Structure 1
Amino acid sequence: MGKIAFVFPGQGSQTVGMAQEIANEHADVMAVLHQADKKLGYSLSQLMFEGPQDELTLTFNAQPALLTASYAIFKKLEEAGIAPDYVAGHSLGEYSALVASKSISFEDAVYAVHNRGKFMEEAVPAGEGTMAAVLGMAAGELEKVTNEVTETIAPVQLANLNCPGQIVISGSTEGVKVASEKAKEAGAKRVIPLVVSGPFHSSLMKPAASKLEEMLKEIKISSPTVPVIGNVDAKEVVDANEIEQKLIEQLYSPVRWEESVERMIDLGVDTFIEVGPGKVLSGLIKKINRRATTLPVYDIQSLQDAVKKLQVEG
């Protein structure tokens, strides 16, 4: 059997009821959720279990909610004796990966991502920035379009390089609109505007990055116990100082998800466990490499299935 990577989802995977079934069955999971409530000073767990969805989706709620749900499921995998050789997360998910690798404590991470969400919301006034998914166009071609629009009209750049033929662009509303039109003219199959509250992973997030830098000084970051594949350059990060720097850069740099998955495969990973709500990353990984085994773990049944499969093979 090859190596195992734990991958953690990012914003967009949040749903009302996430982690509820596992929390109801396991007191230690419920304790994790209450730990988050206490640290944040409001009932995040109630919001996760009961919604409303539009409130859960607000960046500063969605980020700690996803991190908490992912960490709760991670704890159950850990308890079953399943340990990763590598960890990675998509955008916000990188914080979940850092918690799993013992680089940041869960409480510190919940506090950090709640504030990260606030900083991201505050960086650009509502309506002034957005994102769109561009399907069926190569990164190099799309980058020519975004560079041209940025130079002549308004800022827009590649934000998430998710898998072959799926790239998200981000920037000013005007820049994204013009780049979307030009991308279609240049041969993109489809362009889908995303329902997001800001232009994440674009240069417009630099004000948020300087606030994040200040806040990260309050947090203890240790060297991870397993290598973390970072979003910014798709390389293994093993040094605490480097982690802090990469988390700051991550806010305004593209998420190199396709390259991150390729890197883990090059390092011998053949099984990816998606730890947290949804199956988004499992879908992307299959598009990057059909031969990879993906196991999304988001409720009791999927947890039992993954544990059984891995214990048999291990």
Structure 2
Amino acid sequence: MTEKTPNAILLNPQVVVEPGDYRDLYDARPDVRRAFGEASEVLGTDLAADFFAESRDRINSGRVVRPASLAIATALYRAVAARREPPAYIAGLSLGSIIAGHLGGHMSFRDAVRMTHLMPVIEDEEFAGTGLGVAFYYGVDMERFGEALREETAAGRVLSPCAYTAADQMILTGELSALKAMNLRAPSCGGVGLVIPYGPPAHSPLPVLRRVEERFRREWRYLDPPRDPDVPLICNVTARPLRTAAEVTESFITQYGRTVLWDQSVRRLAGLGVRAVTVIGPGHFVLKSLRSTAVSFEVESFLGDGGPLPEPPGEEGR
């Protein structure tokens, strides 16, 4: 009997959404509308009305785009899962790690919606007036870029690694003026830097992130008992598999103050024998990062933006 090759599900981080994005998906798929309806009941507001508003600012508020991304990913995952064997592992980058916590069986959809809403509520309060943001750098020589980063921080600029996303990609958290300075230095390191619109500060030992981490630890409570995940989660800040409820919960809290090691997490999956991955949307960030990793996977994607989609499950798959 041939042993099956382990596969994994990968989830995207928060992405910028333009007015009208994913509207066709919502209109065409009853499973997506159901997921939005379930999330709206938890939030006590019409999530679809907010997410499909005309205002770009309203759509990309963390309190809207994060639970909406959860709803879309959950519906697509349910459709995939209804017709396949369970994945061997599941992993997500930043917001994707929270979504992975639900899809992997650690927490209920209700609690995942609550978590994706509480986090930006706390962040909005703590980040107000700090002048902090995030920027994405790609195509850079990491050794030269790291040296540039050390020079800027030595000069007193507020900068910190947020995420290592691929062999030539990373995200920085810092003051906007400092990020713009790094953007100017990126070409000399072979790449490009861009401040991420609507991107909140994240995944950094900067004091404000430590405050957010402490508040989230104090204020977060599950309504439904958390469980050991059915599918091991690859922790996006340690790159190791998480198999207990306590480990997963702690990873959600401590990822605020630690740099995300996404590139290392992807390579860990390869080391665990994974050769095929399915990326579930919304967003293209993970797909782009996979193109610059040191390992090669068979990649399938369901991003919800007009590309191939799994068939909605029948009533038996609800």
Equivalent residue for 1:162, pick from 156, 162, 165: 165
Residues 18, 69 of structure 1: 8 Å contact kept? no
With over 3 angstroms needed to count, the CA separation of the structure-2 counterparts of 1:28 and 1:46, relative to structure 1, is: same
Are residue 210 (structure 1) and residue 214 (structure 2) matched? yes
Normalised by the length of structure 1, the TM-score is: 0.86
Are residue 294 (structure 1) and residue 296 (structure 2) matched? no
1:242 positional shift: 1.7
1:139 positional shift: 4.0
Are residue 189 (structure 1) and residue 206 (structure 2) matched? no
1:135 positional shift: 2.9
Equivalent residue for 1:285, pick from 281, 290, 294: 290
1:177 positional shift: 3.5
Aligned to 2:260: 255
1:163 positional shift: 1.1
Aligned to 2:241: 236
- In structure 1, how many angstroms separate the alpha carbons of the residues matched to 2:92 and 2:143? 24
Letter aligned with residue 263 of structure 2: E
After superposition, what is the alpha-carbon deviation per residue over 1:61-80, rounded to whole angstroms, capped at 9, x for unaligned?
11111111101111111112
Letter aligned with residue 205 of structure 1: L
- In structure 1, how many angstroms separate the alpha carbons of the residues matched to 2:54 and 2:262? 29
After superposition, what is the alpha-carbon deviation per residue over 1:272-302, rounded to whole angstroms, capped at 9, x for unaligned?
1111223321221132156311111134861
Are residue 102 (structure 1) and residue 105 (structure 2) matched? yes
With over 3 angstroms needed to count, the CA separation of the structure-2 counterparts of 1:194 and 1:31, relative to structure 1, is: closer
After superposition, what is the alpha-carbon deviation per residue over 1:95-122, rounded to whole angstroms, capped at 9, x for unaligned?
1111111101111011111111122222
Equivalent residue for 1:303, pick from 292, 309, 318: 309
State how many pairs are aligned.
306
Residues 10, 92 of structure 2: 8 Å contact kept? yes
With over 3 angstroms needed to count, the CA separation of the structure-2 counterparts of 1:15 and 1:98, relative to structure 1, is: farther
Residues 274, 297 of structure 1: 8 Å contact kept? yes
Letter aligned with residue 84 of structure 1: P
Aligned to 2:114: 111
- In structure 2, how many angstroms separate the alpha carbons of the residues matched to 1:304 and 1:217? 34
- In structure 2, how many angstroms separate the alpha carbons of the residues matched to 1:26 and 1:131? 34
Aligned to 2:176: 173
The farther-off stretch of 101-110 and 219-228 is 219-228
- In structure 1, how many angstroms separate the alpha carbons of the residues matched to 2:112 and 2:135? 28
Give unmatched runs, 5+ long, in structure 2. Answer: 314-318
Residues 19, 72 of structure 1: 8 Å contact kept? no
With over 3 angstroms needed to count, the CA separation of the structure-2 counterparts of 1:197 and 1:286, relative to structure 1, is: closer
Residues 51, 58 of structure 2: 8 Å contact kept? no
Q: CA-atom RMSD, angstroms?
A: 2.7
Tell me, what secondary structure is at the counterpart of 1:130?
A: strand
Output aligned runs, 1:18-167, within 5 Å. Answer: 20-126=23-129, 128-167=131-170
1:24 positional shift: 4.2
- In structure 1, how many angstroms separate the alpha carbons of the residues matched to 2:231 and 2:310? 24
With over 3 angstroms needed to count, the CA separation of the structure-2 counterparts of 1:13 and 1:223, relative to structure 1, is: farther
Letter aligned with residue 71 of structure 1: T
Equivalent residue for 1:7, pick from 5, 10, 30: 10
Residues 74, 275 of structure 1: 8 Å contact kept? yes
Residues 84, 226 of structure 1: 8 Å contact kept? yes
Residues 278, 302 of structure 2: 8 Å contact kept? yes
1:215 positional shift: 2.8
Aligned to 1:310: none
Residues 10, 66 of structure 1: 8 Å contact kept? no
Residues 209, 251 of structure 1: 8 Å contact kept? yes
Are residue 264 (structure 1) and residue 266 (structure 2) matched? no
Tell me, what secondary structure is at the counterpart of 2:114?
A: helix
With over 3 angstroms needed to count, the CA separation of the structure-2 counterparts of 1:247 and 1:151, relative to structure 1, is: farther
After superposition, what is the alpha-carbon deviation per residue over 1:244-266, rounded to whole angstroms, capped at 9, x for unaligned?
22111212322211111111111
Aligned to 1:312: none
Tell me, what secondary structure is at the counterpart of 1:269?
A: coil
Give unmatched runs, 5+ long, in structure 1. Answer: 308-314
Q: Percent sequence identity over matched residues?
A: 21
Residues 76, 310 of structure 2: 8 Å contact kept? no
Equivalent residue for 1:225, pick from 230, 238, 252: 230
1:42 positional shift: 1.0
